[in-house]
Amino acid sequence: MAQMVETLEQQHKTDETALITGSEAIAVACKLADVDVITAYPIRPYDTVMQYVSKLVSHGELDCEYIVAEGEHSQFEIVKHASAVGARVFCGSSGVGWMYAMEALTVTPALRIPMVAMVGNRALDDPGAFGVEHNDALTVRDLGWMLVWVDTAQEALDTALIAYRVAEDRRIFLPCAISCDGAFLTHSQALVKIPAQEKVNEFLPRYNRGDLLLHPDNPITVAPQVNEDWVMEIRRQNYAAMERTTAVIKEAYADFERIFGRSYGNPFFEEYMTEDADIVLMGMGTLSIPMKVAIRQMRKEGKKIGFVRLRWFRPFPAEALAKSLGRFKAVGVVDRDYSFGSPYMSGVVTHEVRTALYSAPGPKPPVLCFICGLGGREVTLPDITRMTESVYQAAEGKAQPLTQWIGLRE
């Protein structure tokens, strides 16, 4: 017995390494964060998280209330209310499942609920497709959700811990959705460092809702009807909370580095081979995998090209990104999404990048949009070569279509 206690204590203190998928990494983060209430409803590819969470709960490794709800709408409603009474919560979905929960997704940030959710990014129906597209998570981009895209299982685990830390910070109290590309990340395994529980406890304080706690001893009304008398002031509070997120995210990453001894550098976006680059391509999520391979290859051919991977989409790191992108002669944004009828029919990420860049002082290189890899279609090396060629042309001042669909069947 004494030996067993010692082993458990040891476990508590040491990091471990495991071969796990992105979804499993998220489930492990739930365990480390000691989440209190989890709800689920099956939809691919998010459903993989459910299985891992179920195992942890059934094996007694995670002490939490776990319900498979009767649909995504009730799934998100249940955790929303659990959070209001002080429980740390986890939830998630994919594609149209996420859309079906939209009413709950809308009220969650408005009620300042620090829910952490995982979106296993998937194409919206119709037509039916299981593969990745980013329009699902992007639908909440204006509502007060923090949105972050990760590209490895390790980053999924770490970011989930960071997400709890930031969301539950009293200065913030906003929900955070972690986007994991369907299949490419949710289902693929990689070696992941699982941090010791002791370190996680140091990094992540208990959720304390303070005077906003819904409790018989603290009689408050949540979500009253306020009409035009108060709506603007309440919206403004959300605006102010979102404004504070940038600083709190920076703090969290700095503490993460101090406690876990691993660093992500700039929390908001990753730069790959950009130091001497003439042009860059940009995108989110697992796009980094083919991108990095292609860039290494093109570098061998003497092309000075780099890649920028955007992690945090909300808050959008406008100033920092504008400063960084201003260094290059041209930028190509790869959108795994669409925004039909929007300016120049470009994708969502492109619009944000253009606004960030063109509203800031300093150089304003051309920004091309490439719609690519929709519905889980692979982004191939020839695709990337085509995009690069076009960005080079733009860098030389030759007019290029502002939006191009790449990898489309001829």
Binding footprint of another protein on the chain (CB under 8 A): 40-44, 47-48, 50-51, 54-55, 58-59, 66, 68, 70-72, 96-97, 100, 125, 128
Two tokens, residue 173:
């109290």
Instruction: Compute the least distance from the CB of residue 57 to another protein, in Å.
Output: 9
Measured distance CA(241)–CA(117) in Å, rounded: 19
Instruction: Compute the least distance from the CB of residue 131 to another protein, in Å.
Output: 16
Two tokens, residue 243:
């404004």
The CB-side HSE value for 249 (13 A sphere, CA atoms) comes to 28
Instruction: Compute the least distance from the CB of residue 120 to another protein, in Å.
Output: 11
Choose between 40 and 348: whose C-beta lies nearer to another protein: 40
Measured distance CA(377)–CA(31) in Å, rounded: 33
Of 112, 116, 37, 47, the residue nearest 82 (C-alpha): 37
Instruction: Compute the least distance from the CB of residue 117 to another protein, in Å.
Output: 18
Of 241, 225, 237, 220, the residue nearest 85 (C-alpha): 220
Choose between 99 and 345: whose C-beta lies nearer to another protein: 99
Instruction: Compute the least distance from the CB of residue 73 to another protein, in Å.
Output: 8
Choose between 126 and 228: whose C-beta lies nearer to another protein: 126
Choose between 49 and 348: whose C-beta lies nearer to another protein: 49
Cβ-count burial 97-133 (b if 16+ within 10 Å, e if not) = bbbbbeebbebbbbbbbbbbbbbbbbbbeeeebbbbb
Choose between 45 and 283: whose C-beta lies nearer to another protein: 45
Choose between 48 and 152: whose C-beta lies nearer to another protein: 48
Choose between 58 and 208: whose C-beta lies nearer to another protein: 58
Choose between 122 and 311: whose C-beta lies nearer to another protein: 122
For strand 176-181 and strand 116-121, is the pairing parallel, antiparallel, or unpaired? parallel
Q: Give the list of residues 6+ apart from residue 162 with CB closer than 8 angstroms, or none.
A: 249, 252, 253, 256
Instruction: Compute the least distance from the CB of residue 72 to another protein, in Å.
Output: 8
| CA separation, residue 255 to residues 204, 258, 260, 264, 318 (Å) | 10, 5, 8, 11, 23
Q: 72 and 133 in contact (C-beta within 8 Å)?
A: no
Instruction: Compute the least distance from the CB of residue 44 to another protein, in Å.
Output: 6
Instruction: Compute the least distance from the CB of residue 369 to another protein, in Å.
Output: 30
Instruction: Compute the least distance from the CB of residue 180 to another protein, in Å.
Output: 17
- Containing 272, the helix (H) or strand (E) segment is strand 269-272
| CA separation, residue 137 to residues 2, 166, 180, 250 (Å) | 48, 19, 10, 23
For strand 16-21 and strand 189-194, is the pairing parallel, antiparallel, or unpaired? antiparallel
Of 124, 314, 136, the residue nearest 238 (C-alpha): 314
Measured distance CA(360)–CA(379) in Å, rounded: 31
- 301: phi then psi, degrees, rounded to nearest 5: -85, 5
Choose between 128 and 362: whose C-beta lies nearer to another protein: 128
